[in-house]
Structure 1
């Protein structure tokens, strides 16, 4: 059975990807930040297994995972969780910078490091759901964009390093998507939120699955997804 470990399964793009993979009967391992969240995910996705680890504290992931059951092999590791806090360079504090770098960059790097043996065993696939901010940085988005530019660099380096082991690496760069994070971004921007203007999370999920389902003789490295309205 095909096995996947997914971060951010509780909402937005992550939830849609998880739903699609569950419908296919795949084996799901869902990362939860705490035991309470793990129980919520288990109730929502019947048959899925959970792993507890807080992406806000990447230095503790190794200890946390060493005390839990993990799959013997992984066909994919899907990095979908993320956080955002807007603000000008002259305003953002080190706390704001560190929070976004930890969850959006350092934690994906550490989780990948810890699970590489299982990915190599399956000649698996690592997918980073990045952001349009991973390709360009706008005013007020400096810290978030820095974390996502770093995530692109992580993916590119990993791809080069793991090519001979058969591990594929894909970065997906969605534009604004109708998720709870997007609603929060609009709140931070002081703008009214109209989800009909933005990409449906299911459309991004389709993009992720397209990369996963590509035959083994090819690899999608980078995919940009933009609102069609």
Structure 2
């Protein structure tokens, strides 16, 4: 059996977490660091990222727009010349809510660039390092795949695309000791979710939704599984269906 990074404790491993400026990505970065992992926390908001500097654990905040080829290549070069990468968590994403007849092609371009192209390109750039250590790739996705409303069709399309990429990547790299898991999340209490509820004209029941920390718990469980085991897909939803 190929030696996997999961045979080593998190304290000996290094993670890259995207979307770490706030919400789910931030919670994942903080939790992995609390468990002892070194974490490169990637996000767009420099002020929010800077606040991670004083957090417990080994967190390196890196401001980068991953849709920018130059910025993304610079990040890959930086990681390749420094700490190794054992874990890659894709949490960055964009969301648009509008019906097909009201949605501009530019909206599709933004969603594709952020939700599909950027994570795919970053994964390909870091894949040699992940293969070298037998790492884990975790893709934060959505339960929107199970039911697509008419006004989120373009967003749902990008989530379907990333699910397909994750599934095909798993087949390609599994023999190298790399595991790939997709986490399909239901409604989670984040600033984006608060805005979605506002757009829907409904009260925001934050306490009844998944919390970012719940997702972070799931990520830790996935990446610390025994080398004999692999989680390929997990669907995580609020227990109370009040929305």
Do they superpose with TM above 0.5? yes
Return the offset for 1:25.
Answer: 1.8
The CA distance in 2 between the partners of 1:202 and 1:38, in whole Å, is 18
Distance 1:131 1:38, change over 3 A: same
The CA distance in 2 between the partners of 1:69 and 1:182, in whole Å, is 32
Map of 2:130 onto structure 1:
119
Map of 1:3 onto structure 2:
14
Distance 1:44 1:85, change over 3 A: farther
TM-score by length of 1: 0.91
Cα deviation digits, residues 203-224 of structure 1 (max 9, x gap)? 1211111111110111100000
Map of 2:147 onto structure 1:
136
Q: Where does structure 2 lack aligned partners over 5 or more consecutive residues?
A: 1-11
1:180 matched to 2:191 = yes
The CA distance in 2 between the partners of 1:96 and 1:36, in whole Å, is 26
Map of 1:103 onto structure 2:
114
Cα deviation digits, residues 4-35 of structure 1 (max 9, x gap)? 00012222222221221121221111113265
Map of 2:217 onto structure 1:
206
Residues 89 and 138 in structure 2, CA contact (< 8 A), matched pair in contact too: yes
1:21 matched to 2:32 = yes
Which deviates the most, 33-42 or 75-84? 33-42
Return the offset for 1:36.
Answer: 5.0
RMSD (CA atoms): 1.9
Return the offset for 1:58.
Answer: 4.3
The CA distance in 1 between the partners of 2:219 and 2:88, in whole Å, is 11
Which deviates the most, 176-185 or 130-139? 130-139
Q: Where does structure 1 lack aligned partners over 5 or more consecutive residues?
A: none
